[in-house]
Amino acid sequence: MIKGFSRTWRAMLPWPRPRGGTRYSACHFCDTLHEFAPLEEDMAARCTRCGAVIYQNRPASLARATAFSLAALLLMALGHVFPFLTMDAAAMRRELTLAGAATALIDENAPILGLSVILFTMVTPVVLAGGMIYVCLPLMFGRAAPGAEFTAKWMSRSEPWNMVEVFLLGVIVSLLKLAKVAEVGFGIGFWSFAGVMLCMAGAVAGIDRDELWDRLEVARS
Ligand SMILES: [Zn+2]
């Protein structure tokens, strides 16, 4: 009981400070170098030259990143089970899932587009959300999962390729055009992926990269 309490308490520990000499942090916009200073929760370090946020100490960062990622994965599962869109035309009704749309593109001689949909809207979000849970959940208990640093690097690389929002925007534009010839509607799958988009934004914004790497370094040591 006491051990469990102790672990929970560790999860609430503030941003840990790795051992070592003076650290510096460069502004992401103007490259001005600043001496790294620890922050209280809910505070941000801003560049003295351009005012851009360099790093932030977000409250309950690990729990937020894990919770949003878990919600994103659950919504993704819903999005694949239920139809993405429905189309009624000439007394015929057609329901399409995201996987069905991608395979239809491949069948209709657009394999690059179909594979891009699979890669950027199905694979990348899973890598990002799954990686976030794999890295952040053990860190809540002060531990680093095997290969957590490698996973964190791939999370960072896959972030720009998560294009669920681009895809959803494309679908809305296409449906507006299709609405002239058929009655179209958004299915549960569409709203689930809209939820995925919001949850992924929340997960990525949930934890600062500097904080993540500091926590990994301290947990490893
Ligand atoms: Zn700056």
Range in 58-62, 93-97, 177-181, 212-216 with the lowest mean pLDDT:
177-181
Q: What is the pLDDT of residue 1?
A: 32
Residue 42 contacts residue 85 (beta carbons within 8 Å):
no
**84-125 confidence digits (pLDDT tens):** 888 777 777 778 888 888 888 888 888 888 888 888 888 888
Alpha-carbon distance of 213 to 211, in angstroms, equals: 6
How many CA atoms within 13 Å lie on the side-chain side of 69?
A: 26
Say whether pLDDT at 8 is over 50.
no
**112-161 confidence digits (pLDDT tens):** 888 888 888 888 889 889 999 999 999 888 888 899 999 988 888 877 77
CA of 26 to the centre of ligand 1 (A): 8
**12-71 confidence digits (pLDDT tens):** 557 777 776 778 888 989 999 888 887 888 888 899 999 998 888 888 888 899 999 999
Total Cβ atoms within 10 A of residue 115: 14
CA of 37 to the centre of ligand 1 (A): 16
CA of 19 to the centre of ligand 1 (A): 26
Residue 120 contacts residue 57 (beta carbons within 8 Å):
no
Q: What is the pLDDT of residue 10?
A: 44
Compute the mean pLDDT over every residue in the chain, rounded to the nearest whole number: 82
CA of 54 to the centre of ligand 1 (A): 8
Six token digits for residue 38: 């620890």
- From the number of C-beta atoms within 10 Å of its C-beta (0-12, 13-18, 19+), residue 162 rates as buried
Six token digits for residue 53: 């946020």
Alpha-carbon distance of 206 to 182, in angstroms, equals: 41
CA of 204 to the centre of ligand 1 (A): 22
CA of 212 to the centre of ligand 1 (A): 22
Q: What is the pLDDT of residue 13?
A: 58
Alpha-carbon distance of 151 to 7, in angstroms, equals: 24
Grouping H, G, I as helix, E, B as strand and the rest as coil, residue 83 is coil
Taking a 5 Å cut-off on Cβ, the residues next to ion ligand 1 are 27, 29-30, 32, 47, 49-50, 52
Alpha-carbon distance of 15 to 57, in angstroms, equals: 7
CA of 82 to the centre of ligand 1 (A): 46
| Helix (H), strand (E), coil (C) string for 32-67 | CEEECCCCCCCEEEECCCCCCEEEEECCCHHHHHHH
- Find the helix or strand (DSSP H, E) in which 199 lies: helix 188-206
Strands 43-46 and 53-57: antiparallel
* Whole-number percent of the chain with pLDDT over 70: 93
| H helix and E strand count, the chain | 9, 7
Alpha-carbon distance of 47 to 23, in angstroms, equals: 15
Q: What is the pLDDT of residue 173?
A: 82
Q: What is the pLDDT of residue 36?
A: 83
pTM of the predicted model, to two decimals?
Answer: 0.78
* Whole-number percent of the chain with pLDDT over 90: 18
Q: What is the pLDDT of residue 4?
A: 35
Six token digits for residue 91: 């007394």
Q: What is the pLDDT of residue 55?
A: 87
CA of 144 to the centre of ligand 1 (A): 32
